[in-house]
């Protein structure tokens, strides 16, 4: 049977439950995923005075073909985007600035250092998001930045974050879609601290100074991201979930939830509904922790499906900003982008093909037998046939055929670097 014939059969199965598959596809086309540029070069960036990766971040593997220039990275992103259905966004870090061989300190970065990225995004119909880079730098060598006891170091990072928000505002104005500026810092201590409060007071004061400089919310959205622990900050992280949740709520900022930044038994999917009750928007960094915050490539596992279900069943596709954050140097980097992003979109499609309203009614009526039975049966409904049709309709490879293109690109481009 053809992809179209399988799709028509699947449509009939879903129609019995009131799921309008054609409408689902039209909706899915307009859901952007923010794809992180740093998978393509192992979080290296293009600074002239490039530093060794730090901040509790580690990338393992030495698969050939890593991007070493902005042109190579954009080429690799274009290849991945050609294999992923829909129109999406690209998420940049400050270390991906292009300074034409000039050493430009991070607190001196300006929109002009990202003009090539903006031009490229415009040509490809992409939005851009942005992150100040508060790691891999001499002024972050002792694991403290915005909470550092040295005022001069704090001011450096405060100015970097202020400049970053202005760069995002520029992205939003030129590209016509608001950019998300996400602040994550590595600050913390390896062993048990004798004072947890003072570093958090300094972090709060630093954030207050950063956000005192106003940007236009039509073009820039501000988010703060927590973490449970990192390499070198095992015992204490200044920017904890509780700290940032309270700060975001009090100061009308977005609280960004990274799926790898919590206790191993804690799930981000379970947090989304609570966040939506009190926040207009919620931001995500979707990763895959294996025993710790290991940033493995996103797979279509139960938690990814549950995250998508929470977004869809709560009618929050326009309220949850979905970004990805993983980096694996042990496999083809273009394949990693393709696998992870396609899986995020698959999870959303899966969630949109579930009769969520009917299942809600069953729960409200106390009919837990039918609720459980149907939730289990829908796990094997033919959503794969709908996915294949969606890919074909969007002009990208169906099923695993995309891998042939990645292998060809590896031989023609990556292995020649």
Catalytic residue among 117, 157, 184, 337: 184
- Please provide the distance, in angstroms rounded to a whole number, between the alpha carbons at the two ends of the chain: 42
Q: What is the total residue count of the chain? A: 417
Rg (CA), the chain: 22
Q: Which of 303, 325, 328, 410 is catalytic?
A: 325
214 catalytic per annotation? no
Q: What is the DSSP string of 172-215?
A: HHHHTSPEEEEE----EESS--S-SHHHHHHHHHHHHHHHHS--
Among 42, 76, 258, 388, the active-site one is 258
Q: How far apart are CA 323 and CA 280, in angstroms?
A: 17
Q: Which of 79, 148, 204, 261 is catalytic?
A: 261
38 an active-site residue?
no
Catalytic residue, candidates 93, 285, 305, 346: 285
Catalytic residue among 66, 204, 227, 241: 227
Active-site option among 169, 225, 310, 328: 225
119 among known catalytic residues: no
Q: Which residue out of 295, 310, 328, 410 is catalytically annotated?
A: 295
258 is known as an active-site residue: yes
CB 127 within 8 A of CB 68: no
- Told to judge if 184 belongs to the known catalytic residues of this protein, a careful annotator would answer yes
Residue 369: both structure tokens together: 């037998």
Catalytic entry in 293, 310, 328, 410 = 293
Pairing of strands 188-189, 236-237: antiparallel
Tokens of 22: 């054609």
Distance CA 144, CA 121 (A): 33
Q: Is 120 a catalytic residue?
A: no
| Bridge partner residues of 130 (DSSP) | 92, 181
The percent helix, strand, coil of the chain (3-state, each to 5) is 50, 10, 40
Annotated catalytic, 222? no
What letter would DSSP give residue 400?
G
Contact, 232 vs 190, CB < 8 A?
yes
Q: Closest by alpha carbon to 258, among 315, 182, 170?
A: 182
Query: What is the set of active-site residues?
Result: 184, 225, 227, 258, 261, 285, 293, 295, 325
């Amino acid at each position: 049977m053809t992809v179209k014939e399988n799709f028509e059969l699947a449509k009939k199965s879903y129609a019995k439950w009131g799921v309008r598959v054609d409408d689902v596809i039209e909706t899915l086309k307009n859901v952007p995923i923010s794809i992180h540029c740093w998978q393509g070069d192992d979080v290296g960036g293009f600074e002239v005075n490039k530093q060794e990766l730090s901040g509790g971040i580690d990338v393992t593997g030495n698969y050939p073909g890593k991007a070493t220039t902005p042109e190579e990275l954009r080429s690799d992103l274009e290849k991945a985007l050609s294999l992923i259905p829909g129109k999406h966004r690209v998420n940049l870090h400050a270390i991906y600035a292009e300074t034409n061989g000039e050493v430009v300190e991070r607190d001196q970065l300006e929109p002009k250092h990202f003009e090539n990225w903006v031009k490229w995004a415009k040509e490809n119909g992409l939005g851009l998001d942005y992150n100040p880079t508060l790691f891999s730098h001499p002024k972050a060598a002792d694991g403290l930045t915005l909470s550092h006891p040295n005022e001069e170091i704090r001011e450096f990072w405060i100015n970097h974050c202020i400049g970053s928000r202005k760069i995002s505002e520029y992205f939003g104005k030129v590209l016509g879609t608001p950019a998300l500026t996400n602040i994550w810092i590595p600050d913390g201590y390896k062993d048990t601290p004798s004072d947890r409060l003072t570093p958090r007071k300094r972090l709060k004061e630093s954030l207050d100074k950063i956000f005192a400089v106003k940007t236009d919310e039509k073009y820039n959205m501000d988010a703060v991201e927590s973490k449970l622990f990192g390499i070198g900050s095992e015992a204490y992280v200044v920017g904890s979930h509780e700290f940032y949740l309270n700060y975001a709520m009090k100061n009308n900022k977005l609280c960004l939830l990274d799926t790898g930044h919590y206790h191993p038994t804690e799930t981000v999917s379970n947090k989304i509904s609570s966040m939506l009750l009190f926040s207009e928007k919620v931001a995500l960094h979707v990763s895959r922790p294996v025993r710790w915050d290991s940033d493995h490539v996103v797979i279509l596992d139960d938690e990814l499906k549950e995250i998508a279900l929470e977004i869809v069943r709560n009618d929050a596709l326009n309220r949850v900003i979905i970004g990805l954050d993983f980096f694996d140097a042990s496999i083809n980097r273009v394949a990693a982008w393709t696998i992870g992003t396609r899986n995020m979109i698959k999870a959303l499609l899966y969630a949109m093909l579930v009769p969520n309203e009917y299942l809600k009614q069953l729960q409200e009526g106390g009919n837990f037998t039918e609720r459980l039975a149907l939730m289990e049966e829908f796990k094997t409904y033919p959503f794969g046939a709908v996915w294949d049709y969606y890919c074909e309709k969007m002009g990208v490879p169906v099923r695993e055929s995309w891998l042939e293109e990645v292998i060809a690109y590896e031989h023609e481009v990556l292995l020649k670097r």
